[in-house]
Structure formats: C-alpha cells, structure tokens
Amino acid sequence: MKVLVAVGTVVVLVAGYVVYTVLRPFVLHTELVMDASPEQVWKVLADRAAYPEWNPFIISSTGELTSGGTITNVLRDTKGKETTFSPELLVVEPNKELRWIGKVPPGAVFDGEHSFRLEALPDGSTRLIHEETFRGAAVPFTRSMLRKTIEPQFVAMNHALAARATDR
C-alpha cells in the first residue's frame, strides 16, 4: 500500500510539473522595423530556396508553405550547431504571418511555436515581430541556453532579412 501511495504521489507531482510548464511558457521575443513593405519582406521570407544565401539562422527550409503541412528546417545556433526538425505549419498568411510548431515527441516535453508577424506601418515600413513560445517539461532547464544561443540568431536573422528586403 505504501508503495502505491508513493508511486501515486510521484505521478501527481510529475503531472503537476508538466501542466505547470505547459501553462507557463517561456517566450523569446524580438522586433525590428524595416524600411520595406510587408509584401517585400514576405517575398524574402517565403523564398526559402534562397535562405542559404542570406539567412544566418534558418540555413535551409524545404516543403510547401501550406497551413497544416509540414516543412523541414535546418537551424544554426550561435555556436554553429545545426539542428534539423520538421514542424507543422499553423498559419501561412502572405504578407502577414508565418507560424509553425515543432515538438519533441510525445509532446509537452519541449514544444516551440515559432512565428514571424508582419505589421504594415503608416509610413510604408514593416514591423517584424519574430518570436518563439516554448512549452514543456524540459523548458525550465533550457532557458539560459535559448537566450544565449537562439535569441541572438533571431536578431541576426531579422537584420539579414531587413537588408535583403530593402535590396529588392
């Protein structure tokens, strides 16, 4: 009986921890105003075959940009480490938003919902909101690493995207 109570207590604690980490996400958020229209920015963002030419963060991205579909991305962090994953596309709205979610199976371990939102500004420029919301049991143990190795790559990509969009 004591063993069952102990096992039950551990299960409840683990389940509570997982629920807590899912409900309390960690967000990496960056923004940049670009001297380019949302259409110009989207054209560069959607031309994933050209990513190796300019993108320091997402060095490869293949697959059709269709909501509900899956793409394959190769990311490079600040240490040069490359990671390949195949997220599900949640939103593909030209000139406005590109969003996907990647999960470490079975889910609730380490999930990342990545988005690029384009906001048209009155002067013809665009505000890029580039962020990722992380949820799952492993997230509290990776926050520092994400800030050091991924967030700077968001910023680098934002500036490279702006340079590419204004060249066109």
**DSSP class per residue in 75-89:** EE-TT--EEEE-PEE
CA separation for the pair 9, 93 (Å, rounded)? 46
Range list of H helices, 1-73: 2-23, 38-46, 51-54
127 φ/ψ angles, rounded to the nearest 5 degrees? -95, 120
Residue 107: per-residue pLDDT: 77
Say how far apart CA 134 and CA 13 lie, in whole Å: 21
Both tokens assigned to 30: 């960056």
pLDDT of 108:
81
pTM of the entire structure?
0.87
Kind and range of the H or E element at 30? strand 26-34
Given a cut of 70, the residues of the chain with pLDDT beneath it are: 4-23, 168
Cα–Cα dist 150/55, whole Å: 14
- In whole angstroms, give the CA distance from residue 160 to residue 57: 10
The two three-digit tokens of residue 27, written as one number = 């967000």
